[in-house]
């Protein structure tokens, strides 16, 4: 639904297995308004990947494909598990995003962590 709204405001879409990718226009506008959105290249919700631009999707495709597979494994429990994992990382003094096991798996599949 978010991708469809983005299309109404100049966004673009394409099918790239294993997901549908939406980018530019309203999708880019929305991502940039999220917390840390200026630094977010793309994000995944189920089999939908929302990216700022065509180039940002090219850069993050392997990483986001891991998240698609995680959604396939975890189903409706993915978002709560991801959130609770981030909270646990934060409460134990670790980085809530980079140390989240879901992100670790995605970064490992994409060649490792790119920054500290």
**pLDDT digits (tens), the chain, 116 positions:** 778 777 778 889 999 888 999 999 999 999 999 988 888 999 999 999 999 999 999 999 999 999 999 999 999 999 999 999 999 999 999 999 999 999 999 999 877 655 43
Angle among Cα 115, 97, 91 to the nearest 5 degrees reads 125
- Look at residue 7 and tell me if it is in a domain: no
Measured distance CA(29)–CA(33) in Å, rounded: 7
Cα-based distances in Å from 113 to 2, 39, 88, 105, 110: 28, 15, 20, 10, 8
Place of tokens 């994000």: 43
Note down the domain range covering 20.
Answer: 12-111
Structural domains in the chain (count):
1
- Look at residue 2 and tell me if it is in a domain: no
């Amino acid at each position: 639904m978010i991708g469809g709204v983005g299309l109404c405001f100049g966004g673009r879409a394409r099918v790239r297995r294993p997901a549908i990718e939406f980018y530019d226009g309203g999708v880019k506008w929305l991502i940039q308004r999220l917390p840390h959105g200026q630094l977010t290249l793309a994000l995944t919700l189920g089999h939908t990947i929302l990216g700022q631009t065509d180039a940002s999707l090219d850069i993050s495709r392997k990483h986001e494909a891991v998240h698609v597979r995680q959604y396939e494994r975890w189903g409706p429990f993915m978002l709560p598990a991801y959130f609770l994992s981030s909270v646990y990382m934060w409460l134990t003094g670790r980085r809530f995003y980079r140390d989240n096991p879901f992100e670790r798996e995605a970064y490992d599949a994409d060649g490792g962590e790119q920054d500290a």
